[in-house]
Structure 1
């Protein structure tokens, strides 16, 4: 279910008014020179990394022998994941036309960088290698290695936040439908809550 997190609904409340004014793929950056560079990720890699994301992040969170660049990239991966509404929007990873596709590239590219970094960590190397092998095998079996999209060659930086393209949401039926359902559910919950409070109020 895409509605598990209450914060998800709060995020929708924050961004819905921005539809008419948001710019496509808006970024917020203090300058690439202030952060850590993150290599690009292909569309095919995204699909597999997305499936292993929780396992990768859990492993990284347990790591103790870390460096500042590693922690920065891990933090960026988690921040971008939240900006991309926790990967809950339909087609965010698989649909190149999704308003959430570029920000999905960002958090998954960072997740990939975290995974590759752990291959050289003593405590995490074995598990990281196992995940890498599973991802490689999955890409071969599913023929994902050669699949690219508009953002496949795009690099990222921990100083550069990639926001969803809110202005494109009305032109993306799946995203628009999801956000509309969320808004209706929220309004219904608020209405029912107020009615309940009125009934129990002295």
Structure 2
């Protein structure tokens, strides 16, 4: 538990701080609004399924695909409460990152001969869903932020202690790990004299 707390307090600086500095080198990924993020989250599985079916790929495709998966892992696989809907969540910015990458991957697949038809059909479905939900009108502080495959957006680890749902999830996981360790290894046994 002490190691986990030390890791959280010693976390590195943010890759994207929301400042006006240019994005790092790599494939530039356009921002997406908070509302678009919610819609893309519903279709992320379909986007990745289409990407996995591609047998002829290129470096741009692979960079987008790998960056999205890496970014998703940094966001703890989208499992933290409020990572999509709560702007105050320390995981909201990194969720913008992996979902913007999923959208960029789908847009890129629409230019690939082997995926073009399926990608355009999926884009049409997503677009219709975004119009129905008014997704482009729902903004948050990260809605205008662009991303790049040259940097991974880390969660704001220090803010976890001030975001009650994230802190509760962290404490629950810690308690489960301790209970699991206790049940596996049991209480220390004293040696018979």
TM score, norm. by length of structure 1: 0.83
1:155 Cα offset (Å):
0.8
Counterpart of 2:15 in structure 1 is: 27
Residue correspondence of structure 1 range 119-134 to structure 2 within 5 A: 119-134=110-125
Q: Choose 1 or 2 for highest CA Rg.
A: 2
May I ask how many residue pairs the two structures share in their alignment? 183
Per-residue displacement from partner, 1:61-104 (whole Å, max 9, x unpaired)? 22123221121111100000000000111111111110001111
- Superposition CA RMSD, Å: 2.3
**Secondary structure in 2 aligned to 1:32?**
coil
Measure, in 2, the Cα distance between the counterparts of 1:190 and 1:169. Answer: 24
Following TM superposition, where does structure 1 have runs of at least 4 consecutive aligned residues deviating by more than 6 angstroms? none
Measure, in 1, the Cα distance between the counterparts of 2:40 and 2:3. Answer: 28
**Secondary structure in 2 aligned to 1:153?**
coil
Per-residue displacement from partner, 1:35-81 (whole Å, max 9, x unpaired)? 21111111111101111111111211221232211211111000000
Measure, in 2, the Cα distance between the counterparts of 1:126 and 1:17. Answer: 49
Measure, in 2, the Cα distance between the counterparts of 1:71 and 1:158. Answer: 11
1:185 aligned to 153, 165, 176, which one?
Answer: 176
Gaps (5+ residues) in structure 2? Answer: 17-22
**Secondary structure in 1 aligned to 2:137?**
coil
Per-residue displacement from partner, 1:158-187 (whole Å, max 9, x unpaired)? 111111001000111111111111110110
